[in-house]
Amino acid sequence: MGDAYKSWFGGKPAGTLTVGTKYVRLDNSKWDPKANALDLRLVYLNVQSITGTGFLRIRGVRADGDATGYHDYPILAAGQLITHVYYEPRGSKDGPTVWSVKCWGGLRSAKIATRYAKGAAIHKRP
């Protein structure tokens, strides 16, 4: 019998991430829970400074290239904190999900200080 719950923390990258209107990776970590689990993710961002106002789009890209899991957060001032929560039943899907972010809708750039991703997977016990 295996564990019913597995968790992961990608760590906090050092320095500040500058985001423009093209996608950039949030971190270098990849987590690949086994298929047939409920996959839970959390992405945390501290938006330190901005140019313009608009949206930050956070997306998860699966190993098969599927980038349809995203959400837009309105950014109106520096100092905003974002906690992005994502979940899906993995079914037969396998492979890591990586996180990326971009500015759009009038937000031209953003500097992100603290940022990290966490994950958990809940498996059925055999």
Neighbouring CB atoms inside 10 A of 43's CB total 23
Domain limits at 32?
A: 5-123
> According to the model, what pLDDT value does residue 111 have?
97
Percent of the chain at pLDDT > 70 equals 89
Does 89 score more than 70 pLDDT?
yes
Contact 17, 26 (CB under 8 A): yes
Does 82 score more than 60 pLDDT?
yes
Calculate Rg over the CA atoms of the chain.
15
CATH number at residue 56: 2.60.120.760
In total, how many domains does the chain have? 1
Across the chain, what does the average pLDDT equal?
A: 86
pLDDT single digits (tens) 98-125: 889 999 999 999 999 999 988 888 887 6
Neighbouring CB atoms inside 10 A of 74's CB total 11
Q: Please give the Cα distance from 118 to 126 (Å, whole number).
A: 25
